[in-house]
């Protein structure tokens, strides 16, 4: 009696599968088995029907990025999580809102996605505004713009500067001159560089006024340079941050009406409390620098 022993090796998803064939055994196709399961992926996005919450759309699957569209894109049972858009009322229709309305993926009539409008009833006022409105924070950056009136005169001549910018000459002592200039909330330096061409008497006077009535005038709080002829030490003298620690308080000569000026300068506001000021140096020194740092509201 003869026995035939043979082995049939077949492939499966878990490794090799063997089949022992004994006496009177025969091999046929029915003796080969596979444990591989069929995977269904209808939309071809790499995720099976069991894992994909919408197997008809290849853009929807567990690895997708959630976008604002009202759909659960990444199959986590949440819709538009982390991507909803904030909408704000825009009453003045300038493209910026202030009051929160709701979150939505769809645009809402009368609402915008940009906020930060500090006056939603004025289309000139918003974070991107280039308008200057006197006494108003037009661009919503926390500072107001002021159109400042500056009255100034020097006997005999001089220059007026604001924040290191020369606005022009100071006019004659009998009339003076008026400037309008924009300033913003915060520290500002006003300076006068003056001189007397006749070596007789030198003095300056100045009056600044905001539209809300706030005033600054020349008085004992102004200072003068102890070294007016030292040009090297004057770099930036009319700017915020300049070290004027060694500058000295000015000499107050007197208010409008004081001799020899009388009621001059004529352009000054009636009743201005401004004082004629200068230094304590001999008049032969001729020129001088006067400065004052103010803070606008």
Q: What is the pLDDT of residue 36?
A: 61
Question: Domain with 174 in it: what CATH number?
Answer: 2.60.120.260
Distance between CA atoms of residues 205 and 210, nearest Å: 17
Residue 46 maps to a domain: no
Distance between CA atoms of residues 260 and 156, nearest Å: 13
Do 157 and 22 lie in one domain? The reply is no
> Can you read off the two tokens belonging to residue 161?
């500067």
Do 286 and 157 lie in one domain? The reply is yes
Distance between CA atoms of residues 150 and 210, nearest Å: 9
Q: What is the pLDDT of residue 144?
A: 97
Residue 64 maps to a domain: no
Where do runs of H (alpha helix) occur along the chain?
none
Buried residues in 202-223 as b, exposed as e (16+ CB within 10 A)? bbbbbbbbbeeeeebbbbeebb
Q: What is the pLDDT of residue 245?
A: 96
One pLDDT digit (tens) per residue for the chain, 297 residues: 433 333 333 433 333 333 333 444 444 554 444 556 688 988 787 888 888 888 888 988 999 888 888 888 889 988 888 788 999 999 999 999 999 999 988 889 999 999 999 999 999 999 999 999 999 999 999 999 999 999 999 999 999 999 999 999 999 999 999 999 999 999 999 999 999 888 788 899 999 999 999 999 999 999 999 999 898 899 999 999 999 999 999 999 999 999 999 999 999 999 999 999 999 988 776 799 999 999 999
Do 153 and 24 lie in one domain? The reply is no
Buried residues in 161-175 as b, exposed as e (16+ CB within 10 A)? bbeeeebeebbbbee
**DSSP assignment, residue 63?**
T
Residue 85 maps to a domain: no
Do 151 and 283 lie in one domain? The reply is yes
Do 29 and 172 lie in one domain? The reply is no
49: left (phi over 0), alpha (psi -120 to 50) or beta: alpha
Q: What is the pLDDT of residue 200?
A: 81
The 10s digit of each residue's pLDDT in 80-98 is 887 889 999 999 999 999 9
> Can you read off the two tokens belonging to residue 82?
């982390």
Residue reference for tokens 């809300």: 212
The number of folded domains in the chain is 2
Residue 101 maps to a domain: no
Structural domain harbouring 287: 145-296
Residue 67 maps to a domain: no
Distance between CA atoms of residues 288 and 233, nearest Å: 13
**C-beta separation of 189 from 293 below 8 A:** yes
Residue 95 maps to a domain: no
Residue 156 maps to a domain: yes
| Residue 138 CA, distance from chain mean position | 13
* Of 269, 294, 273, 290, nearest in space to 281 by CA: 290
> Can you read off the two tokens belonging to residue 194?
């003056």
pTM (2 d.p.): 0.73
């Amino acid at each position: 009696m003869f026995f035939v022993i043979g082995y049939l090796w077949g492939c499966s998803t878990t490794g090799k599968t063997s089949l022992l064939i004994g006496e009177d055994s025969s091999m046929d196709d029915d003796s080969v088995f596979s444990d591989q399961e069929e995977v269904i992926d209808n939309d071809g996005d790499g995720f099976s029907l069991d894992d994909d919450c919408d197997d008809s759309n290849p853009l929807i699957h567990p690895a997708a990025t959630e976008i604002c569209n009202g759909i659960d894109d990444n199959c986590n049972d949440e819709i538009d999580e982390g991507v909803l858009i904030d909408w704000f009322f825009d009453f003045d229709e300038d493209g910026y809102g202030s009051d929160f309305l709701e979150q939505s993926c769809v645009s809402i009539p009368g609402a915008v996605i940009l906020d930060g409008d500090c006056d939603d009833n004025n289309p000139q006022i918003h974070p991107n505004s280039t308008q200057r409105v006197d006494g108003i924070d037009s661009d919503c950056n926390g500072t107001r713009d002021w159109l400042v009136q500056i009255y100034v005169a020097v006997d005999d001549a001089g220059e007026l500067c604001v924040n290191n910018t020369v606005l022009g000459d100071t006019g004659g002592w009998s009339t003076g001159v008026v400037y309008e200039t924009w300033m913003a909330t915060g520290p500002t330096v006003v300076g006068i560089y003056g001189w007397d061409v006749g070596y007789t008497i030198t003095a300056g006077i100045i009056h600044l006024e905001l539209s809300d009535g706030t005033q600054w005038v020349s008085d004992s709080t102004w200072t003068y340079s102890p070294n007016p002829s030292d040009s090297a030490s004057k770099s930036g003298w009319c700017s915020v941050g300049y070290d004027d620690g060694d500058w000295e308080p000015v000499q107050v000569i007197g208010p409008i009406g004081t001799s020899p000026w009388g009621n001059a300068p004529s352009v000054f506001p009636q009743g201005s409390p401004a004082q004629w000021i200068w230094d304590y140096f001999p008049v032969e020194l001729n020129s001088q620098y006067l400065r004052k740092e103010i803070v606008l509201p």
